Amino acid sequence: MSSSTTAAQTEAPPVACIVIESSRGWASLGLRDLWEYRELLGFLIWRELQGVYRQTALGISWIFLRPVLNMLILSLVFGRIVQVPSDGVPYPIFSLAALLPWSYFANAVTRTSRSLVDNMHVISKVYFPRMVIPIAATISGLVDFVAALLVLFIAMLIYRIPLHIAILWLPLLLLVTVAFALAAGFWLATLSVKYRDVAFAITFLLQALMYASPVIYPVSLIPESLHIFYYLNPMTGVIQGFRWALIGGEAPPLLLFSLSVLMVILALVSGAFIFRRTERTVVDVL
């Protein structure tokens, strides 16, 4: 046997080298991982729905009672006592049309902001894309939204208010509301991990934002010179759009509403990147 053959036989086999690099750009969001864990997302959404009304005497009936009670309270206080103008629309319909997006937004932000802290026992034991948790908390509120929408349709039938062709814009307006709630949830959930004070501050922030949005009063009460600042709050365009799509009236200005949508997109993208960067150390902090 020749020396060259012996050397070839004794030569060590090549070793595979695997290089692990951090993902950059859009790949760092891990959107493919979210699709792979879609079954887990569905399970978390179902768990959220069960957890909200668990151990309640009326159970799931609350999804219909809550919008009715909110509408009655606002109608009594602001419609009867304060007599806030409602642009010629019966105040119960006027307020409920605004409560649709606002109630969903407020509940979704509250759930999403505390989602990581509430699921710390799961996060610390099993690996999965952490972004699934706030997304599930945001989407689960759509069940309450649909129930409130049915209540509004019944109220419109009672007051004999017809539907308009503008209702076709409702899915787009709802999409903007979901995106804004998820964007706020990403930022607040990240902060809640480090600062538990955020959970207490959210209540006051939402209350202030409600009064800064046309929930209990029409946009016509705001001086036109201040509209450009007023519409910096994305919920202003959303609520005005819901009223326009459901009960008619004045549509939100296209330019100012487009500005609100742009702000929501920027908040959602930046919040998602910050959330993904923070989730690497969330277990240590929790």
- Are 138 and 178 in contact by the 8 Å Cβ rule? The answer is yes
What are the residues whose beta carbons fall under 8 Å from the beta carbon of 240, sequence distance 6 or more? 214, 219, 250, 251, 252, 257
Average pLDDT score, the chain: 82
Residue 270 has pLDDT above 50, yes or no: yes
pTM for the model stands at 0.84
Residue 19 has pLDDT above 50, yes or no: no
**Is 284 exposed, middle or buried (CB count within 10 Å of its CB: 0-12, 13-18, 19+)?**
exposed
Please state the rounded mean pLDDT for residues 104-125.
83
Please state the rounded mean pLDDT for residues 240-254.
89
Residue type, position 221, single letter = L
Cα(82)–Cα(92) distance, rounded to whole angstroms?
14
Residue 6 has pLDDT above 90, yes or no: no
38-83 pLDDT, tens digit each? 787 888 888 777 766 665 656 667 778 888 888 899 899 998 898 8
Q: Tokens for 55, please give them.
A: 């151990």
> Any idea of the CA torsion for 249, 251, 252, 255, to the nearest 10 degrees?
-160
What is the predicted pLDDT for the residue at 8? Answer: 46
What are the residues whose beta carbons fall under 8 Å from the beta carbon of 49, sequence distance 6 or more? 140, 143
pLDDT band at 170 (very low <50, low <70, confident <90, very high): very high
Residue 172 has pLDDT above 90, yes or no: yes
Give which of 238, 250, 222, 230 is closest to 88, Cα–Cα. 250
Cα(279)–Cα(261) distance, rounded to whole angstroms?
27
What is the predicted pLDDT for the residue at 286? Answer: 57
189-220 pLDDT, tens digit each? 888 877 777 878 898 999 999 999 999 999 98
130-160 pLDDT, tens digit each? 888 889 889 988 988 998 999 999 999 999 9
Cα(196)–Cα(173) distance, rounded to whole angstroms?
32
What is the predicted pLDDT for the residue at 155? Answer: 92
Please state the rounded mean pLDDT for residues 105-132.
81
Q: Tokens for 154, please give them.
A: 């019944």
Q: Tokens for 182, please give them.
A: 């998820």
DSSP 56: -
Find where tokens 């007051």 sit.
159
What is the predicted pLDDT for the residue at 284? Answer: 55
What is the predicted pLDDT for the residue at 123? Answer: 73
The alpha carbon of residue 37 and the mean position of all alpha carbons in its chain are separated, in whole angstroms, by 20
Residue 179 has pLDDT above 90, yes or no: yes
Instruction: Write out the H or E segment, with its range, that includes residue 236.
Output: helix 234-247
Greater pLDDT, 1 or 163: 163
Give which of 53, 206, 48, 194 is closest to 132, Cα–Cα. 48
What is the predicted pLDDT for the residue at 285? Answer: 57
Cα(29)–Cα(70) distance, rounded to whole angstroms?
38
High-pLDDT (> 70) share of the chain, %: 82
The string of DSSP letters for 170-209 reads HHHHHHHHHHHHHHHHHHHHHHHHH-TTHHHHHHHHHHHH
Please state the rounded mean pLDDT for residues 88-114.
92
Find where tokens 């179902």 sit.
46
Find where tokens 């702000």 sit.
263
- Lowest model confidence (mean pLDDT) among 127-131, 138-142, 282-286: 282-286
What is the predicted pLDDT for the residue at 29? Answer: 65
Q: Is the dihedral of CA 30, 32, 34, 37 positive or negative?
A: negative
| Helix pair 132-139, 38-52: axis angle to 10 deg | 50
pLDDT band at 23 (very low <50, low <70, confident <90, very high): low
Cα(108)–Cα(114) distance, rounded to whole angstroms?
10
Greater pLDDT, 15 or 104: 104
pLDDT band at 15 (very low <50, low <70, confident <90, very high): low
